[in-house]
Amino acid sequence: MSLRQRKINRFSLWLPAVLFVITLDQILKNIAPKFLSVYCNEGIAFGFAKTPYSQIIVLAVLLILVFYASGSREVSTKYGFALILGGGISNFIDRLTAGCVRDFIDLGFFPSFNLADAAISAGVGILIAFVILRPKGEES
């Protein structure tokens, strides 16, 4: 397999999932204000860590995740990283364009969130499950 084919294979599994999360989240964030209350979250997670460096911190974390996702051999970890990256990139787009992350899902008993936040949480859950359920002695 050529170097180009390996690079395509490395990204072909998870890149469509990343793009799907970004696209769907951005569509919902633009439709939501017509039907729901939208909260402008200026912090990093659930309104915490409001600093002038929030965008730099988020960008650094996203770049680290791209590095790990591209090197992962396990399909489940690739999709876990894809959900985290898609959600993170979509929220980063919000920070750049709106100055905050637009949250529109309010369950009443939990801080408001959006599809990107749900994707990030699901991705973290997949990665945790992979680590816990992986047979002992097996490395990714």
User: Which residues are the active-site residues?
Assistant: 103, 117
Q: Could you give the residue ranges of the DSSP H alpha helices within 2-139?
A: 3-12, 15-31, 54-71, 75-98, 115-133
**Sequence-separated (6 or more) residues with CB below 8 Å from residue 96:** 55
Distance CA 118, CA 2 (A): 37
Q: Are 28 and 104 in contact (CB under 8 A)?
A: yes
Using alpha carbons, select from 20, 40, 44, 29 the residue that is nearest to residue 119. Answer: 20
Measure CA 31 to chain center: 20
Q: Are 85 and 69 in contact (CB under 8 A)?
A: yes
